[in-house]
């Protein structure tokens, strides 16, 4: 498998549930879902949470996706972890900014469960 430890940072609890269910359909992975971006960043920096790939919501309160991504890419130990930005609206300026900050992928959040499975299978299994 391409990745084993997965982190989802998203403030929407419904997305956590869908993500977890879809991951289970894709394969056996270790995953953590966190809804507070600041806390997630702190846990990554301290090593309390380890990830081979990070799925990061674009729009969150307190600290948004681009801010978190920028912080991740400034940390020597974290900067090589692939980050996949998730958003409900794929604005071209947001896509360009995410890529400029170092995002590996920019994906629109799927509406259907089957589409979540397909997206996760594509990213996680390559």
* CATH number, position 62: 3.40.50.2300
Residue 90 is predicted with a pLDDT of 67
Half-sphere CA count of 83, side-chain side, radius 13 A: 28
- Enter the tokens of residue 59: 């729009």
Q: Lowest mean pLDDT: which of 52-56, 90-94, 95-99, 111-115?
A: 90-94
Q: What is the pTM of this model?
A: 0.93
64-96 pLDDT tens trace: 899 999 999 999 999 999 999 998 876 778 778
The domain in which residue 113 lies consists of 5-125
- Mean pLDDT across 102-122: 91
CB of 12 within 8 A of CB of 18?
no
- Enter the tokens of residue 90: 């794929």
- Number of domains forming the structure of the chain: 1
């Amino acid at each position: 498998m391409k990745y084993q430890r997965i982190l989802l940072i998203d403030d929407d609890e419904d997305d956590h549930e869908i993500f977890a269910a879809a991951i289970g359909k894709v394969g056996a992975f270790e995953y953590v879902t966190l809804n507070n971006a600041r806390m997630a960043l702190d846990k990554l920096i301290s090593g309390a949470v380890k990830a081979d790939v990070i799925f990061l919501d674009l729009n969150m309160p307190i600290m948004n996706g681009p801010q978190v991504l920028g912080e991740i890419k400034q940390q020597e130990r974290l900067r090589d972890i692939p980050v996949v930005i998730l958003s409900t609206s794929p604005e071209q300026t947001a896509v360009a900014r995410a890529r400029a900050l170092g995002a590996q992928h920019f994906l629109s959040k799927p509406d259907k469960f089957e589409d979540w499975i397909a997206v996760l299978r594509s990213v996680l299994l390559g």
